[in-house]
Structure 1
Amino acid sequence: MDRRAVQARYKLSDQILSDYDIWIKNDDTSSNEYEYTDTDLVYLQTIAELYTIGFNSDEVTTYLQLNEYSQQTTTQQIRLLTLKRNEKLADIHQCEDQVAAIDYLRLQLNEGKQYGHNREK
């Protein structure tokens, strides 16, 4: 399957295809003439998924290098995924705290208790 067909069918960005071309094919020409194989598609889907979950390009590179060069990479890959999961959970908890603070301020406003509202003059 050529680059345009892969891009359209799997909704992959130019960035993902270019990264793949550099990281896996070791070619940065981004040629439309290259035919992607089923193996290529597995790598491309992995790269897309890693970006979707919040990996940056350095983290994607590290993840793929583990996959590419080491026989015992599962533990290391799980560690990288766990670190990213913990980051996302920390973000979620921070957002939950912010929502709780918003709810508290809304409650205070609704009860007229903030900033002296409903005070007699």
Structure 2
Amino acid sequence: MNKKEVSQKYRIPIEVLDEYESGGLCNVVKYVMGEWQYDDQDLERLSTIMALHDVGFNNEEVKEYMHLLLETSDSKEEIIALLNNKRKKKLQQIHLQEKQLERIDYLKFKMKELKEK
């Protein structure tokens, strides 16, 4: 499948595919007769890359993950460590947001008290 076909079939903007290609994130993709050609394995990798971006991985983290996944035979522990670190950071963000919500609720409570006086 060429870039346009992938974009239409999977609803991935061409700009996103361009970014992946130029960033070397899909370096296995073949360049044939003047255009990029994606096979099923490339699409699987692209799906993984998009999932990593969706959960907050930046381009450098994606490159590291994909390198470990594709080029290192015994990298499961390193990949799990990367995922655990990302999960830990996300939990820290959630806890911070929960504290912020508690502060907002406290301020609302105080405003209601003042309004009732």
The reply to whether TM is greater than 0.5 is yes
Cα displacement (A) at 1:72: 1.1
Name the structure with the higher strand share.
2
Alpha-carbon contact 2:28-2:42 (below 8 Å) kept = no
Which AA in structure 2 matches 1:3?
K
**Percent identical:** 32
Cα displacement (A) at 1:16: 4.4
Structure 1 segments, 4+ long, off by >6 Å, are none
Kindly tell me the number of residue pairs found equivalent between the two proteins: 113
Aligned to 2:114: 112
Calculate the TM-score normalised by the size of structure 1: 0.80
Aligned to 1:76: 78
Alpha-carbon contact 2:52-2:62 (below 8 Å) kept = yes
Unaligned 5+ residue runs, structure 1? none
Cα displacement (A) at 1:26: 6.5
Which AA in structure 2 matches 1:89?
L
Q: Which of these two proteins has the greater Rg computed from alpha carbons?
A: 1
Unaligned 5+ residue runs, structure 2? none
- Supply the RMSD in Å over aligned alpha carbons: 2.4
Calculate the TM-score normalised by the size of structure 2: 0.83
Q: Describe the SS at the equivalent of 2:19.
A: helix
User: In structure 1, what is the Cα distance between the partners aligned to 2:38 and 2:89?
Assistant: 33
Which AA in structure 2 matches 1:106?
K
Name the structure with the higher helix share.
2
User: In structure 2, what is the Cα distance between the partners aligned to 1:32 and 1:53?
Assistant: 33
